[in-house]
Amino acid sequence: MERNWSRRQMLGALSALGAGSAVFGRAVATLAAEESPVTVETIRQASWIAGMQFTDDELELMAKGVNETLEAFDALRAIRLDNGIAPALRFVPPGDVPEAPSPAARRAQPIETAPPPRPGSDDELAFMPLTELSALIRTRAISSVELTRLYLERLRDLDPRLHCVITLTEALALEQAARTDRELSRGIYRGPLHGIPWGAKDLLSVPGYPTTWGAFPYRGQVLPTKATVVSRLEHAGAVLVAKLSLGALAWGDVWFGGTTCNPWNLGQGSSGSSAGSAAAAAAGLVGFAIGSETWGSIVSPCTRCGATGLRPTFGRVSRFGAMALSWSMDKLGPIARSVEDCALVFDAIHGADGLDPTASDRPFHWPARKDVRALRVGFVKSLFEEDRGANAQAAEGAEQSESADALREWQRFDNETLYVLERLGIELVPIELPDRYPVDALSFILTAEASTAFDELTRSSDDDLLLRQVENAWPNVFRQGQLIPAVEYIRANRIRTLVIEELERTIEGLDAYVAPSFGGSNLLMTNLTGHPAVVLPNGFRSVDGTPTSITFTGRLNGESELLALAHAYQQATDFHLQRPELSFPDES
């Protein structure tokens, strides 16, 4: 047996030891650094132990990402970890999860309960916030059936332009709406969502209807389970009118039916992955929608479409019946036309259910009990001061080709957000995000978990059926994930524990902080740490009239104060009241 191998032979052999080997993680990176980057042939050898075979084209796509992952390993290995630091993972036996609280215990109510006058046109009615629609239904100024038919008509007529609907749930919607009207006639009122039509991101299972995950391989999939979020909204009396588009397997805005469009600019995608949820809410096609976020999938499409979204604390909303992408990062949350709309929906869906072991019960109060002027609010000083025209770095889903002038205009909107908060009597405390640890290097946690969730798709080669077959798309990333050593994944989660602790220390004493939606590492960091965020419009670009956004981030389980702050800002501005000019086919 030949033992006198060259470094390149050692590199190939160590790669072939396999993706779960600690030896692989250390030795391959060391040898690769001393020699040349990992090559297509190196990856071919490494894939053998995982029982994978990739084509030459697939290997070429993988090479850059694998080398970047090795650099991430190096960055994380430079951090000394005490033996007592555990990974940022939580495992709870199902029997230890408390039963869900009684829905009757949910007490959130709109701040203003007096019904507005019924608007003079269906178009104005369609764009009313949930709070006003609720008052009209409660007082029977409009029936749920009437409102449901209006939204179904708009969904049918405008979807050929927006491509935001995967499945209309018309029969179910009309049945639920009719039940609402019968209940109201008997004096039964379930709360502010009673009779309100809504749309579900099509990663939520609804028996009797396809749950496609936006991906061609699953387009005929019908699941027998009902997602907890769907059950809770049904109990609250909400009316499901549509299953809305998402970028295939929750990335981007491209699904098997095309690209979901931005209602403000039909030549532009709506971003993703909650593409249809944000587009439908912004276009007045539903009263509200449910989206999900793992890394920007509520923040990004809400930014693009001018909607308002809440990404709750990790574990506040059960994910039972939702497609799993990353078990330690996935979060479900509402997308609507106002912050208060999001608060009312959140009240209906949060809490443990005994089915998702990460879901827990925490208090939530709406209206919030704390005066907004008493809130301690931070702002990330350096991110408001940076010259974005010279230092344009966009996160997932954000525009990559913005001009310097457009970026500086967005910066001006962000700074004006601070002025509005100050005029409200809120004292702003300058802070800086922790930078002790390389947050960007932790992103392969998502790659590893997503690759595991869709391992069978990769091994069967059905990933070839996904529309996007480029470097920055799931098929390529899933293949790269096969080469992440288990040791490196666990190390990253231990460092993630330190990031959580560091961020908590940074915002100690604050109720919330404000930051540009795509500034620095904030978006990735807070998705890794599980902190809640509200994203809402704060301006419109002069170049094309499309929206910009700002993000408020709260303490863990601090949704009450976070939403109160965002609501106060929104009440002092009118960006959320603007609506895109969409005409029906016979009006164009």
CATH number at residue 256: 3.90.1300.10
Backbone angles phi, psi at 366, to 5 degrees: -145, 125
Supply the pLDDT for residue 391. Answer: 52
The edge-to-edge listing of strands for the beta sheet with 239-244 is: 165-168, 239-244, 197-201, 288-293, 331-336, 308-311, 533-540, 547-554, 512-516, 377-380, 428-431
Q: Which residues of 377-410 are buried (b: 16+ CB within 10 A; e: fewer)?
A: bbbbeebbebebbeebeebbbbbeebeeebbebb
Is 338 catalytic? The answer is no
Looking at the structure, tell me whether residues 56 and 119 fall in a common domain: no
pLDDT for res 474 = 97
pLDDT number for residue 394? 41
Residue at a domain's end among 428, 459, 491: 491
527 within domain boundaries: no
Distance CA 294, CA 140 (A): 39
Residue 31: inside a domain: yes
Token pair recorded at residue 15 = 């790669």
Residues 52 and 144 placed together within one structural domain of the fold: no
Runs of H (alpha helix) within 454-558: 455-459, 474-481, 486-506, 522-529
Whether residue 79 is found in the same domain as residue 182: no
Whether residues 46 and 177 share a domain: the answer is no
Indicate if 79 and 130 belong to the same structural domain: no
Give the residue from 406, 439, 436, 198 showing the smallest Cα distance to 295.
439
Measured over the CA atoms of residue 518, residue 519, residue 524 and residue 527, the dihedral's sign is negative
Question: Is residue 226 among the annotated active site residues?
Answer: no
Residue 556, Ramachandran bin (φ over 0: left; ψ between -120 and 50: alpha; else beta): beta
Identity of the residue numbered 83:
N
The span from the CA of 336 to the CA of 319, in Å, is 19
- On whether both 187 and 335 belong to a single domain, the answer is yes
Q: Of 521, 152, 562, 75, nearest to 340 (Cα)?
A: 562
CB neighbours of residue 93 within 10 Å: 7
Last residue of a domain, one of 491, 513, 535: 491
Q: Write phi, then psi, for 36 (nearest 5 degrees).
A: -110, 170
Cα separation, 93 vs 296, in Å, equals: 30
Tell me whether residue 521 is in a domain. Answer: no
Torsion sign over Cα 333, 335, 339, 340: negative
Per-residue pLDDT tens digits of the chain, which is 588 residues long? 333 334 344 444 444 444 444 444 444 444 444 455 889 988 888 887 677 889 999 999 999 999 999 999 999 989 998 777 778 766 444 444 444 455 445 679 898 878 899 999 999 999 999 999 999 999 999 999 999 999 999 999 999 999 999 999 999 999 999 999 999 999 999 999 999 999 999 999 999 999 999 999 999 999 999 999 999 999 999 999 999 999 999 999 999 999 999 999 999 999 999 999 999 999 999 999 999 999 999 999 999 999 999 999 999 999 999 999 999 999 999 999 999 999 999 999 999 999 998 999 999 999 998 999 999 999 999 999 987 766 544 433 344 457 788 888 999 999 999 999 999 999 999 999 999 999 999 999 999 999 999 999 999 999 999 999 999 999 999 999 999 999 999 999 999 999 999 999 999 999 999 999 999 999 999 999 999 999 999 999 999 999 999 999 999 999 999 999 999 999 999 999 999 998 655 444
- The answer to whether residue 421 is domain-embedded is no
Residue 95 lies in a domain: no
- Select which of 270, 273, 300, 338 is catalytic: 273
Listed residue (315, 295, 248) closest to 275, CA to CA: 248
Whether residue 65 sits in one domain with residue 135: no
Rounded to whole angstroms, the Cα distance separating 56 from 521 reads: 34
By residue range, what is the domain housing residue 466? 7-84+439-491
Would 414 be classed as within a structural domain? Answer: no
Q: Which of 47, 201, 274, 292 is catalytic?
A: 201
How confident is the model at residue 407, as a pLDDT? 86
Residues 199 and 344 in one domain: yes
Count of alpha carbons within 13 angstroms of residue 308, beta-carbon side: 30
Q: Is 297 tagged catalytic?
A: yes
**Alpha-carbon distances, residue 355 vs 100, 321, 378 (angstroms):** 9, 9, 36
Q: Per residue in 499-555, pLDDT tens?
A: 999 999 999 999 999 999 999 999 999 999 999 999 999 999 999 999 999 999 999
- Position 82 scores a pLDDT of 78
**Which of 314, 330, 361 corresponds to the end of one domain?**
361
Q: What's the structural domain count of the chain?
A: 2
Would 259 be classed as within a structural domain?
yes
Note whether 130 and 77 are same-domain residues. Answer: no
The answer to whether the peptide bond before residue 87 is cis (omega within 30 degrees of 0) is: no
Q: Is the pTM of this model over 0.95?
A: no
- Residue 363 CA to residue 559 CA, distance in Å, equals 9
Catalytic residue among 297, 443, 451, 549: 297
Q: How far apart are CA 282 and CA 275, in angstroms?
A: 11
Cβ distance 318 to 355 under 8 Å? yes
Environment class of 354 (CB within 10 Å of its CB; exposed 0-12, middle 13-18, buried 19+): middle
Instruction: Report the pLDDT value the prediction gives residue 84, as an integer from 0 to 100.
Output: 74
Q: Does residue 268 sit in the same domain as residue 140? A: yes
- In a shared domain, residues 144 and 280: yes
Both 163 and 75 in one domain: the answer is no
pLDDT at 332: 98
Task: Kindly state whether residue 460 falls inside one of the protein's structural domains.
Answer: yes
Tell me, what's the pLDDT at 453? 95
- Between CA 15 and CA 24 the distance in angstroms is 6
